Structure 1
Amino acid sequence: MKNQSIKKNLDWSCVIIYGALVILGWLNIYSSSLSSPDNTYQKQLIFIILTIPLIFIILAIDGKMYEKYASIIFMISLLSLAGLFVAGKTIAGQRCWYAIGSFTLQPSEFAKAATSLAIAKYLSDSQINLKEINRQIQVLAIVFLPVLLILPQPDPGSALIYSIFFIVLYREGLPAWYVWTGFITIVLFVLTLVIEPQYVILGALATLILIYFKSRLGDRNIIVSSLLFVAMSGFVLSVNYVFNNVFKQHHRDRFNILLGKTVDLKGVGYNTNQSEIAIGSGGWFGKGFLEGTQTKGGFVPEQHTDYIFTTVGEEWGFLGSLTVIALFVGLFLRVIYLAERQKTKFSRVYGYCVAGILFIHFFVNLAMVIGIFPTIGVPLPFFSYGGSGLWGFTILLFIFLKMDANKVNEW
């Protein structure tokens, strides 16, 4: 009866979209790595086959267990990230993997689901009020603990993903100024790299003055406005120092190329340039499966991983790319719809975390391959090569589908 209930209540729309994305992803990995001597597409097929028993295990576990043991799962995840500094394997300058023979496992891919469960568990307490400072500190600690372990690996791409949790927390009552602070920080940082700091400071001053006089008389506070101006000015004046002395050279190169300050089509900018050529050459209908010249020629480095979408653009064209994008958007919207209909805070918050993580991966990856975001190593969910990524996203999604199938909202 329990298995029949799962089959009946499982959201098959999400399952079908998931299956379609995994299959389409493998076809593109097959195309982009067909001439590769390391049998990449065969390895990915094995990873895909192994997701089947993984899904059955996730669905077989009582949905209540995910909430009950969320804190323990989170602690195990943190330990696995910390263990990399002792027993991790370094690949391409990053100490992000555990090596078991020829097989590698990246714990940061699983930490996203663990952190989502921990956040949902913390917020499910009816006494939690994110307007209180101590509650804000506690929930932000949950977000930043894995980030502090991921950044030194160094893996800025995985760390960036955690920024999406601020949107989820805002949805659950976190003051809006957290989100605005993050947004303004990014804008000031980029502007300072493009134009002289003094002009950025003058622009910030003019904006604050405008906001001050546009505000209602009772909301005006000259002290707060002055402190904001001092903080913004201090940040702007520190940007160039941080950029030149804290950022690594390859990070500086990527930003400089993105902002048009330097042109290096044969060096750091090679990947992005070849990616844009491949996608642009696909036209409306693409060159056809296995017919992409950029793909067959191996002109796009790491095309089967972070740049897998270039294969879609070249071989399937604009319409094929639009189809893939539509599948992803359909999945995001469906997960959000399912999250909205939950009646328990735990399952609702977790559902929003799932949608948020999948979305930011999708958005950053596409922005990266079309040249409007620096290359930082963010995979495309269900598409990019890698067992850890595929299993991490599968676990993330199917835990939520299990909650919904078991009618967690009716407990």
Structure 2
Amino acid sequence: MSKHSTIKVGTIDWLAVIFYMALVVSGWLSIYASVYDMETGKSIFDIQTNSGRQFLWMLVSWLIIIPIITVDYKLFDSLAYLLYILTLVILVLVIFFGTEIRGSHSWITVFGFRFQPLELAKITTSLTIARYLSKYDTKIGLMKSQIILFSLIGIPALLIIGGGETGSALVFAAFVFVFYREGMSGNILLFAFLFIILFGLTLMLNIYYLLAGLGVITFIIGILLRKNKNALIFIITAGIISMGIVLSENYLLHHVLKPHQIRRLETLVNPNADPLGMGWNVTQSKIAIGSGGFLGKGFLEGTQTKFDFVPEQSTDFIFCTIAEEKGFTGSIIIIGLFVALFIRIILIAERQKSAFSRIYAYCVLSVLFFHFAINIAMTLGLAPVIGIPLPFISYGGSSLVGFTMLFFIMLKLDAYQGFILR
């Protein structure tokens, strides 16, 4: 066997593995708690329950780790583009021939098992970004390079939207942080922040009042800075761009987004607008989290979850189960595990001798952090309900297998940092 495919036990970052295992097991126990029925008292291993099926997916995930750590690490670099193209082909096929679940054509059914290829897209896109940015002749400051990079994340995102998974497609925006880390101008982050602020204002205000307000603000600041020609040009340009963003967002709201997607966004701004509809999830989520108190109600003792007040309590709203049963203390422990894992990934990324390995590690960090931040914010009513699972915690075979592969490819590359030169 090649020295590039064998791994010594000591070269694996076992601290990162411990954080991973702690989160996976915590998620499994929380899934069991969310579906536990006192009358039937089914075992945590019963495959007729979500907890039993999740245990099977845990085993599958751990089996997949074996080929990841034994294959030649060079393949992840050399096959990145090919795997990316194959993933795009699969995403196209899924749109037309995929299994439809809740209006989404994003699933493949094989021998009775369902899997979402979009989880593979996160992995192959990460590998492709890492390979492209690690090329010696790639200059991220050039417009050509930026167009290619945004195309790499935009194409799979659009295909995923075509399959009916708009929320999952938003994850690809997380790669922008990788671009920034590798030298892209911070203006792109400022633009994204401006887009979000204006989008919120577009939801809350009449578009004509908003446009008029932007015009007045631009005019007043322009008057104050009229003696500084460069500043004046900048303010006028920013004002025009802001108005253009508002108009495009207004068009998006009224001609692109579906009614239920618009209601989700409106609920984010005002949850009380539809308390028994779109606002129900967030309201019940907050009640469950608040009812846990400091120490929680105890394992299998959550009333909000037991009586199914919280929808999707084993998937998108799994954090509610944790907060209700383990309270503030348990919630902080889970959040602390994630923070510790993120810090560990940063340390892993920064010690890489290879640009490819470093960039891939930051891709892993961006994807995991985006999922974590949006999911927690979603359960607290700080983000719209868009179906983003909590990594390693939420129920779902596709996400667990996908996150495990994404994570252990990084550990494989890290184990061989001494061999990798580029």
Q: How does 1:146-295 map to 2 (within 5 A)?
A: 146-201=156-211, 203-205=213-215, 206=217, 210=221, 219-220=230-231, 222=233, 225-260=235-270, 262-295=272-305
The AA in structure 1 aligned to 2:387 is G
Offset of residue 229 of structure 1: 2.1
Offset of residue 241 of structure 1: 4.0
- Give 1:381's aligned residue: 391
Offset of residue 161 of structure 1: 0.5
Partner of 1:90, secondary structure, is strand
Offset of residue 83 of structure 1: 1.2
- Give 1:13's aligned residue: 15
Q: How does 1:9-88 map to 2 (within 5 A)?
A: 9-35=11-37, 38-88=48-98
Q: Distance in 2 between matches of 1:56 and 1:182?
A: 39
Q: Distance in 2 between matches of 1:323 and 1:125?
A: 40
- Give 2:379's aligned residue: 369
Q: How does 1:108-123 map to 2 (within 5 A)?
A: 108-123=118-133
Q: Deviations over 1:187-216 (max 9, x none)?
A: 111112212334533554536864996799
Partner of 2:154, secondary structure, is helix
Q: Distance in 1 between matches of 2:163 and 2:90?
A: 13
Do structure 1's residue 325 and structure 2's residue 327 form an aligned pair? no
Identity %: 42
The AA in structure 2 aligned to 1:21 is L
Change (3 A) 1:46 1:244: same
Conservation of the 8 A alpha-carbon contact between 2:81 and 2:128: yes
Q: Give structure 1 regions of 4+ aligned residues with deviation exceeding 4 angstroms.
A: 1-5, 207-219
Offset of residue 104 of structure 1: 0.3
Change (3 A) 1:9 1:213: farther
Change (3 A) 1:208 1:51: farther
Partner of 2:106, secondary structure, is strand
Do structure 1's residue 311 and structure 2's residue 313 form an aligned pair? no
Change (3 A) 1:325 1:211: farther
Conservation of the 8 A alpha-carbon contact between 2:98 and 2:106: yes
Q: Distance in 2 between matches of 1:215 and 1:378?
A: 47
- Give 1:392's aligned residue: 402
Partner of 1:97, secondary structure, is strand
Q: Distance in 2 between matches of 1:18 and 1:247?
A: 36
TM-score, normalized by length of structure 1? 0.94
- Give 2:45's aligned residue: none
Where structure 2 has 5 or more consecutive residues not aligned to the other structure, the ranges are 43-47
Q: Distance in 2 between matches of 1:111 and 1:263?
A: 36
Change (3 A) 1:353 1:214: farther
Partner of 1:302, secondary structure, is coil
Q: Deviations over 1:32-73 (max 9, x none)?
A: 112399411111000001122111111111211111111111
Where structure 1 has 5 or more consecutive residues not aligned to the other structure, the ranges are none
Conservation of the 8 A alpha-carbon contact between 2:354 and 2:417: no
Q: Distance in 1 between matches of 2:304 and 2:187?
A: 45
Q: Distance in 1 between matches of 2:371 and 2:17?
A: 19
RMSD: 2.3
Conservation of the 8 A alpha-carbon contact between 2:272 and 2:279: no
TM-score, normalized by length of structure 2? 0.91
